[in-house]
């Protein structure tokens, strides 16, 4: 009785696998190696996902703190500006004296292969670009607070951009992790079992065949 005619008790998945993988020792070794690589890949993806999740949680907490600081700085700045306008009138002419800030710079850091931009803003000397004789200390206070708002806004923009990048990377990593744990690892595990069972069955058949041959020779 040859192996393909034997009534092996395989599941439907294993039976369908038998039409794709021929049960040989070489295929068993190759499939076991693939299974080990899939498990290693899962461990790496799972570690990457956990690190990215910790990173995004830290950033989210920091973003919440900065947003609160921005709200406070805005409130102080607008209050000082309102008081300055009451004191000296329309302040739009003073605003036109302040030059555009071109001091933004960006570098990139990598977290588990995810590139995250780092934005820095050049520190400007505390210099008032308008005439002090025609202004007031309230306008100076508003200017200082709006400078603080600008600095905090840059920090918040960096964090929000990085959070979006991390969220996208986590989503992709989760898909790969799921594919390994739910598809590839079960597939290779099933294939290893199918080949092992088939080889064991063949070994039993060969042993039984040898016993029959010896018995016939002994007659």
DSSP 153-184: HHHHHHHHHHHHHHHHHHHHHHHHHHHIIIII
Average of per-residue pLDDT across 182-210: 88
CATH number of the CATH domain containing 94: 1.10.287.3240
209 vs 6, 116, 200, CA distance in Å?
13, 66, 14
Average of per-residue pLDDT across 42-50: 95
Q: Does 168 reside within a domain?
A: yes
pTM score above 0.85: no
DSSP 98-110: SPP---EEEEEEE
* pLDDT band at residue 8 under the 50/70/90 scheme: very low
% pLDDT > 90, the chain: 48
Q: What share of the chain is helix, strand, coil (3-state, %, to 5)?
A: 75, 5, 20
Please determine, for residue 45, whether its predicted confidence score (pLDDT) is greater than 50.
yes
| Range from 9-13, 96-100, 147-151 carrying the lowest mean pLDDT | 9-13
Average of per-residue pLDDT across 183-188: 94
| Range from 121-125, 170-174, 197-201 carrying the lowest mean pLDDT | 121-125
Domain membership of residue 83 as a residue range:
37-188
Write the CB contacts of 160 (distance below 8 Å, at least 6 apart in sequence): 63
Q: Does 158 reside within a domain?
A: yes
Q: Does 139 reside within a domain?
A: yes
Element (H, E) at 118: strand 114-121
| Range from 8-17, 70-79, 106-115 carrying the lowest mean pLDDT | 8-17
- Tally of structural domains, the chain: 1
């Amino acid at each position: 009785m040859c192996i393909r005619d034997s009534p092996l008790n395989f599941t439907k998945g294993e039976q369908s696998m038998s039409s794709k993988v021929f049960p040989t020792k070489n295929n068993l070794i190759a499939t076991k190696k693939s299974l080990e690589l899939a498990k290693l890949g899962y461990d790496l993806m799972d570690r990457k996902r956990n690190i990215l999740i910790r990173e995004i949680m830290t950033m989210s907490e920091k973003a919440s703190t900065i947003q609160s600081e921005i709200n406070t700085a805005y409130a102080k700045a607008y209050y000082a500006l309102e008081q300055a306008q009451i004191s000296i009138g329309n302040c739009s002419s003073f605003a036109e004296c302040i030059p555009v800030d071109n001091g933004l710079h960006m570098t990139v850091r990598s977290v588990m292969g995810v590139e995250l931009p780092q934005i820095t803003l050049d520190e400007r000397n505390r210099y008032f670009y308008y005439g002090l004789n025609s202004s007031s200390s309230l306008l100076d206070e508003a200017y200082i607070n709006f400078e603080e708002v600008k600095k905090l806004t840059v920090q918040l923009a960096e964090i929000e951009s990085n959070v979006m990048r991390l969220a996208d990377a986590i989503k992709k990593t989760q898909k790969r992790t799921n594919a390994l744990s739910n598809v590839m690892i079960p597939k290779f595990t099933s294939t290893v079992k199918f080949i092992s069972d088939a080889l064991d069955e063949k070994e039993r058949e060969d042993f039984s065949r040898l016993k029959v041959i010896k018995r016939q020779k002994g007659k």
